[in-house]
Amino acid sequence: MHLRTLAHLSDLHLDLTPESDTTARALVESLLAESVDHVVVTGDLTHQGSQREYKRFREIFAPLLDAGRLTFIPGNHDRTGEDAGSRWMNGRKVKVEHAEGLYLVCVDSTGPHNRNYFACHGMLTPGVLDAVDEALCAAPRDVLTAVLLHHHVLPLPEESFPERLATRMGWPNASELALGAEMVQRVQGRCDLILHGHRHVPREFDLGTPRGRGLRIYNSGSSTEMGRFRVFSHAAGRLTGAPVWYRAALPPSRKRSSAPNVGPALQYLASQLTMALL
């Protein structure tokens, strides 16, 4: 039985802080050092949706991109500014990517409203769910099958000041996808993982095996804020054990203390306010 590995990263937000590039490079070095077979990044690669940020992402992740070991999808931040993420899926809302031992159903959960920083919630339509159904119907049984999207499909607690503020103001920014629960119901028994980002604190749900095949949902959290990522092991189309966290080898100036760090949340809010007023 050949064991393979899949790493999940998200919400890099290149340009959010001066240290984001340093952390992203350290993450790539750790991924290469661990010889991870494939890597997925579930959106918000950029912070202001600029082509310059996207170019830098491609430069930093070039060793994985050039080897065909990387899959990524857009998040709401990739749709702001120059709308760099609008072309990443060739205009499609759902597409399938194949890797050794993997069947990845990539879903663009962003919408036209995501050009506005204050409207960062996602969007699914019945047509998108039908396209996911069709993709899963074609999935081989002997490979690990994952649905990738940026926004969260199930309710999550408010985890930061911007999220609490948005809720108090009546904005839907912190809300789960309106059709997220329906998506979960429709994919159960036909895929193994739903991997997403958007919210910066990692979470997980194990939904058991109500239809004879286990389904687990994982939010990556912000990989650059945390300086770490999950790695899943799989063989013959099934997960083997629980995922393992790996930490990037950061320089001493970037290592986090155990004290809460509110800086990224405040910088995030300030950047949203600034962009909204430009």
Of 129 and 267, the structure prediction assigns the larger pLDDT to 129
The continuous run of DSSP H or E covering 105 comes out as strand 102-107
Q: Where does the chain show beta strands of DSSP type E?
A: 4-9, 38-42, 70-73, 94-99, 102-107, 144-148, 193-196, 203-206, 216-219, 228-235, 238-239, 244-247
* Confidence at 166, pLDDT banded by 50, 70, 90: confident
Per-residue pLDDT, averaged over 69-84, amounts to 97
Per-residue pLDDT, averaged over 179-194, amounts to 97
- Tell me whether residue 101 is exposed, middle or buried, using C-beta atoms within 10 angstroms of its C-beta: 0 to 12, 13 to 18, 19 or more: buried
Per-residue pLDDT, averaged over 164-183, amounts to 90
The residue type found at 209 is T
Rounded to whole angstroms, the Cα distance separating 19 from 107 reads: 29
Per-residue pLDDT, 1: 66
List the single range of 54-63, 103-112, 144-153, 167-176 with lowest mean pLDDT. 167-176
Per-residue pLDDT, 215: 97
Rounded to whole angstroms, the Cα distance separating 23 from 228 reads: 9
Per-residue pLDDT, averaged over 251-264, amounts to 48
For residue 73, pLDDT over 80 is answered with yes
Per-residue pLDDT, 267: 47
For residue 210, pLDDT over 90 is answered with no
Global pTM? 0.90
Distance (Å) of CA 138 to CA 133, 219, 231: 9, 25, 26
10 Å Cβ neighbour count for 140?
10
Nearest to 107 by CA among 149, 71, 79: 149
Quote the distance between the C-alpha of residue 237 and its chain's center: 21
The residue type found at 261 is N
Of 235 and 275, the structure prediction assigns the larger pLDDT to 235
Domains in the chain: how many in total? 1
Quote the distance between the C-alpha of residue 12 and its chain's center: 9
Distance (Å) of CA 22 to CA 15, 18, 57: 11, 8, 12
Per-residue pLDDT, averaged over 158-165, amounts to 83
| Full domain range(s) for residue 224 | 4-277
Per-residue pLDDT, averaged over 176-192, amounts to 97
Tokens of 89: 């899926």
10 Å Cβ neighbour count for 91?
9
Per-residue pLDDT, 273: 42
The residue type found at 160 is S
Residues in the chain: 278
List the single range of 91-105, 129-143, 165-179 with lowest mean pLDDT. 165-179
* Confidence at 156, pLDDT banded by 50, 70, 90: very high
Q: What is the CATH number of the domain that holds 165?
A: 3.60.21.10
Per-residue pLDDT, averaged over 177-205, amounts to 97
Q: 71 near 99, Cβ under 8 Å? A: yes
- pLDDT tens-digit series, residues 77-124: 999 999 999 999 998 999 999 999 999 999 999 999 999 988 999 999
- pLDDT tens-digit series, residues 230-241: 999 999 999 999
Which residues does 29 contact at the CB level (< 8 Å), separation at least 6?
248, 249
* Confidence at 254, pLDDT banded by 50, 70, 90: low
Q: 113 near 153, Cβ under 8 Å? A: no
Per-residue pLDDT, averaged over 20-43, amounts to 97
Tell me the pLDDT of the chain averaged across its residues: 90
